[in-house]
């Protein structure tokens, strides 16, 4: 915990500094949501196809999902969501000819969540 997933359009591969974003995001999650830095895990998933409305071209999407253990206030989750959007503005560069859509969600992990580390 936290479990972080970042879905991003393939067209952004060269414009999105993913390692720097992950480092900054992990620091932010620690500061805002009182997580432990070694527990922060981020997976990036490149998506090949993006459609917005009825358009299948001209758009790029980045969506970040942060899963936290229960117990954070709605205010804390909202502050973290806004911070994630701010980081995306810093680490996703302009992609010429593309409308960029960024979004983020902070949610609670289900009570069934378990982990194992070796």
Q: How does strand 3-9 pair with strand 41-47?
A: parallel
Structure-block tokens of residue 22? 């992950």
With 90 as the cut, is the pLDDT of residue 19 above it?
yes
Beta bridge partners of 59: 99
Q: Which pLDDT score, from 0 to 100, does residue 115 have?
A: 84
Chain mean pLDDT for the chain: 94
Average pLDDT over residues 2-22: 96
Which among 80, 10, 17, 79 has a CA at the least distance from the CA of 45? 10
pLDDT band of residue 116 (cuts 50, 70, 90) is confident
pLDDT digits (tens, 9 = 90+) for 32-72: 999 999 999 999 999 999 889 997 789 999 999 999 999 99
In this structure, the number of other CB atoms found within 10 A of the CB of residue 104 comes to 20
Average pLDDT over residues 86-94: 95
**Domain boundaries in the chain?**
3-108
Calpha distance 51→115 (Å, rounded): 34
* pTM attached to this predicted model: 0.93
Give CATH superfamily name and number for 3-108: Macrophage Migration Inhibitory Factor (3.30.429.10)
């Amino acid at each position: 915990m936290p479990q972080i997933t970042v879905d991003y359009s393939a067209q952004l591969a060269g414009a999105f500094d993913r390692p720097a974003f992950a480092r900054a995001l992990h620091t932010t999650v620690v500061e805002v949501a009182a997580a432990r830095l070694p527990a922060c895990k981020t997976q990036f998933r490149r998506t090949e196809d993006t459609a917005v409305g009825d358009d299948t071209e001209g758009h790029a999407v980045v969506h970040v999902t942060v899963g936290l253990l229960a117990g954070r206030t709605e205010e804390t989750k909202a502050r973290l969501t806004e911070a994630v959007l701010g980081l995306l503005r810093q680490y996703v560069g302009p992609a010429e000819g593309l409308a960029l859509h960024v979004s983020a969600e902070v949610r609670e992990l289900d009570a069934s969540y378990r982990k194992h580390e070796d």
